[in-house]
Amino acid sequence: MGISGRAHSWFESYLTGRSFNVSWKGDSHHLSELRIVLLGNRRSGKTSSGHTILGREEFDTLGRTALCVKRQGHVAGRQVTVVEAPGWWKNYQLEETPELTKNEIELSVSLCPPGPHAVLLVIRVDTAFTETERRSEQNHLELLSERVWRHTIVLFTRGDWLGDTPIEQHIESEGESLQWLVEKCGNRYHVLNNQKREDHMQVTQLMEKIEEMVAGNRGHHYEIVWSVEPCTSVECGTVYQCGVWNRVPVWSVEPCTSVECGILYQCGTVYQCGVWNSWFHSMNLKFIFKAFSVRFPLYL
């Protein structure tokens, strides 16, 4: 069977895999607000995709994005929030990525509370997709937990490079690594041609695919999981671990009772207690402030 024949076969299996989601789609699932996170390696086209989705240039195009950037706008009758997370080097494995980048990836879903409707994993179609890249994409995405796959769509950029080649044929020709990634995302994918930003239909279709995915998830967005447990291993007295933000403990002298929709609003007075603090303070304290607008009197 030739490439085109295998692509047709793969596309049939793709449609079969989507049948459940299609059954949920309808006018009743139109969302007035959409929250989106863009993830991908450097130069994958995240910034250009953010511009295309919002219909205007909102993100910095002059240099590398070191921190998460959040922008909003009205798109196809919806209020849309787009968060762009900093990228990692292509083919870099998770252990090679700087802690700052990993922390920002984890932070990204917290910047569109109570959680994104869709995580768009951005991949260029004009470069070969290898097994090394597949492992890199998987490991970086799973910083957000295994649950994130149910809320992820592969967003292919450089759609102009495809010409008349169907994206299904491209996926088939790239081999098992790319096919695995697409199937891991529930066979959800979309192509953007960021050179034709005036083509609003491609964005409208993306919004519809996101709504279809949300409907298939019973209306649920990606949820930030919190645990509220007392901590008894800190030496400076009765201190509580009043929340865990992406594996980073948040401490208080009082039990925290104001965790709502995955957002930590106020957690009391924070003390410097134990060896956790040197790492927590140097790497992550500013992210707690940035994500939750917490205002603590600090004794650090």
Cβ atoms of residues 190 and 212 within 8 Å: no
Would you state the pLDDT for residue 225? 65
pLDDT of residue 223: 86
In words, the CATH class of domain 3-216 is alpha beta
Number of Cβ atoms within 10 Å of the Cβ of 210: 24
Query: Which pLDDT tens digit goes with each residue over 90-123?
Result: 989 999 999 999 999 998 998 998 899 999 999 9
pLDDT of the residue at 290: 35
Q: For tokens 């529930």, what's the residue?
A: 186
Rounded distance between C-alpha atoms, residue 190 and residue 204, angstroms = 11
In the chain, where are the structural domains located?
3-216, 229-292
In tens, the pLDDT along 158-211 reads 999 999 999 999 999 999 999 999 999 999 999 999 999 889 999 999 999 999
Residue 29's pLDDT is 72
Interatomic CA distance for residues 222 and 172, integer angstroms: 29
- Which tokens belong to 46? 């995240």
